[in-house]
């Protein structure tokens, strides 16, 4: 373990991020800068550089223990005692780098811990607590609480620093954009005054963006001479799935609250959550042969960014119908999709999980399976119903709401 919140001063860290923002705007190609409005560039910069504060989830904290020896030393005297070592694992969200950043207000003592990845690839905070067997049985709890109390203090102080930085990102970006554009105007004036004719640059392209927030990084418009790509980018696809994953796991934490809802209500909750990140997300939207449950489109509807179906588990036959239904909604531009399944009635959740690969592998449009490190999730490649050469990615979520 190492000390937390003490590797780098917060002021220095935020100044580095500010410098990176200015350098990125300064490095934008001229045609990119001219093809984008000020608001579009600011949105892109904010979504890329916004710092997500750390948030710990003490209600999901768990620990493992093992026997150990506790060594006591005093001058040349040394004694070993039987003891226990508790390895405490604390889930969190936010930018992991912040664990090493010292806030503007701090004390002379720092909490301890290290950042590790769990089996599903998520970062968690880990710290050890060692006690002797002869000590008060509550000693380990006191050590844990002392460390958590210190962590809470530093997170509270740091959160204010992060909020102040995030509130200033747009002003920093706007200042850098205006500075860059003033330079371009001066450059243009020099070129206009030049007596020899110059070859004109290509026309700026039309701008078509999918608006996003927070860490879903907003793409800038394509520069001239680049072909339009249909569908959704791999990064945005993963970010949409991340939002659904977070909401589904929230359902699982308090299943009694959500199990009372039907398929449509559960879908509407997810649609509402997605709208925080992708404004314009819709539910029950007509597309091709019917109404798809979740649809994210770009502004002029030239392509669908994301199509998904929500289903309550009622057996393999109905899931096969859901696969047919999803593939039937897709146009030739749609290639990244999802099926979200809620189990509300089956107590043997593992049994359903074991069936999932077999159901897809037996489907007539199945092509292959892609491994995923997320428990309760699968990813399959299927062929389009109308074009066997067209691959469609289907990411499957299975959430357990059984009470």
Which token pair is 355? 């069936």
CA 27 vs. chain centroid, Å, equals: 27
Please check whether residues 257 and 122 belong to one and the same domain: no
Choose one of 226, 257, 272: the last residue of a domain. 226
Q: Looking at the domain assignment, is residue 77 inside a domain?
A: no
Share of residues in the chain with pLDDT > 70 (%):
85
Please check whether residues 356 and 218 belong to one and the same domain: no
Q: Looking at the domain assignment, is residue 346 inside a domain?
A: yes
Choose one of 191, 226, 261: the last residue of a domain. 226
Q: Looking at the domain assignment, is residue 69 inside a domain?
A: no
Reply yes or no on whether the pLDDT at 319 is more than 50: yes
- The tens digit of pLDDT for each residue in 215-245 reads 555 555 555 554 444 567 777 888 889 889 9
Q: How far apart are CA 59 and CA 305, in angstroms?
A: 35
Number of domains in the chain: 2
- The tens digit of pLDDT for each residue in 245-271 reads 988 988 888 888 888 888 888 998 888
Which token pair is 368? 């292959």
- The pLDDT value given to residue 291: 61
Average predicted confidence (pLDDT) for the chain: 84
Choose one of 226, 257, 281: the last residue of a domain. 226
Q: In what order do the strands lie in the sheet with 366-370?
A: 282-287, 290-297, 304-312, 336-343, 391-400, 377-383, 366-370
pLDDT band for 138, please (50, 70, 90 cuts): very high
Q: Which residues contact 161 (CB under 8 A, 6 or more apart)?
A: 10, 14, 103, 104
Q: How far apart are CA 166 and CA 238, in angstroms?
A: 24
- Domain, as residue range, for 297: 234-400
Please check whether residues 324 and 349 belong to one and the same domain: yes
Please check whether residues 118 and 170 belong to one and the same domain: yes
Contact 272, 283 (CB under 8 A): no
Beta bridge mates, 245: none
Please check whether residues 157 and 241 belong to one and the same domain: no
Count of CB atoms situated within 10 Å of the CB of 247: 20
- The pLDDT value given to residue 288: 38
Write out the H or E segment, with its range, that includes residue 170. helix 139-193
Reply yes or no on whether the pLDDT at 156 is more than 70: yes
User: 191 versus 132: which is more confidently predicted?
Assistant: 132
| Strand, coil or helix: 276 | coil
Average pLDDT over residues 339-364: 92
Reply yes or no on whether the pLDDT at 58 is more than 80: yes
- Weakest-pLDDT range from 28-42, 174-188, 310-324: 28-42
Q: Looking at the domain assignment, is residue 66 inside a domain?
A: no
Average pLDDT over residues 356-360: 93
**Strand pairing class (304-312; 336-343):** parallel
Reply yes or no on whether the pLDDT at 79 is more than 70: yes
| Strand, coil or helix: 147 | helix
The CATH code of the domain that includes 251 is: 3.40.91
Q: Is 9 exposed, middle or buried (0-12, 13-18, 19+ CB in 10 A)?
A: middle
- The tens digit of pLDDT for each residue in 360-380 reads 999 999 999 998 878 899 999
Please check whether residues 316 and 259 belong to one and the same domain: yes
């Amino acid at each position: 373990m190492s000390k937390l919140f003490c590797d780098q001063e917060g002021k220095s860290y935020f100044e580095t991020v500010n410098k990176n923002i200015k350098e990125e705007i300064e490095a934008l190609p001229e045609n990119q800068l001219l093809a984008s409005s000020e608001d579009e560039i600011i949105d892109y910069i904010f979504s890329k550089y916004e710092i997500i504060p750390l948030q710990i989830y003490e209600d999901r904290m768990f620990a493992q223990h093992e026997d150990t020896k506790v060594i006591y030393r005093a001058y040349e005297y040394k004694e070993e005692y039987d003891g226990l070592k508790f390895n405490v694992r604390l889930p969190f969200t936010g930018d992991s780098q912040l664990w090493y950043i010292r806030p503007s207000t701090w004390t002379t003592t720092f909490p301890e811990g290290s950042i590790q990845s769990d089996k599903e690839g998520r970062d968690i905070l880990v710290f050890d607590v060692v006690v002797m067997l002869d000590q008060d049985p509550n000693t380990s709890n006191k050590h844990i609480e002392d460390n958590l109390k210190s962590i809470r203090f530093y997170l509270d102080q740091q959160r204010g620093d992060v909020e102040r930085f995030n509130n200033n990102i747009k002003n920093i970006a706007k200042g850098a954009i205006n500075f860059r554009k003033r330079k371009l105007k001066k450059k243009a004036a020099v070129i206009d005054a030049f007596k020899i004719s110059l070859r004109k640059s290509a026309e700026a392209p039309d701008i078509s963006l999918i608006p996003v927030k927070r860490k879903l990084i907003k793409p800038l418009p394509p520069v001239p001479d680049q072909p339009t790509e249909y569908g959704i980018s791999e990064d945005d696809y993963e970010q949409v799935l991340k939002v659904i994953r977070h909401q589904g796991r929230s359902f699982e934490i308090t299943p009694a609250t959500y199990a009372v809802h039907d398929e449509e209500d559960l879908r509407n909750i997810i649609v509402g959550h997605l709208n925080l990140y992708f404004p314009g997300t819709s539910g029950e939207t007509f597309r091709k042969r019917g109404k798809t449950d979740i649809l994210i489109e770009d502004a002029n509807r030239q392509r669908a960014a994301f199509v998904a179906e929500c289903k309550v588990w009622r057996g393999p036959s109905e899931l096969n119908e859901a696969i047919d239904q999803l593939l039937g909604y897709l146009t030739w531009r749609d290639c990244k999709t999802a099926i979200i399944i809620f189990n509300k009635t089956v107590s043997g959740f593992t049994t359903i999980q074991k069936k999932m690969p077999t159901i897809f592998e037996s489907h007539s449009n199945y092509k292959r399976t892609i491994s995923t490190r997320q428990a309760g999730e699968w990813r399959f490649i299927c062929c389009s119903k109308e074009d066997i050469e067209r691959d469609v990615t289907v990411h499957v979520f299975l959430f357990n709401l059984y009470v």
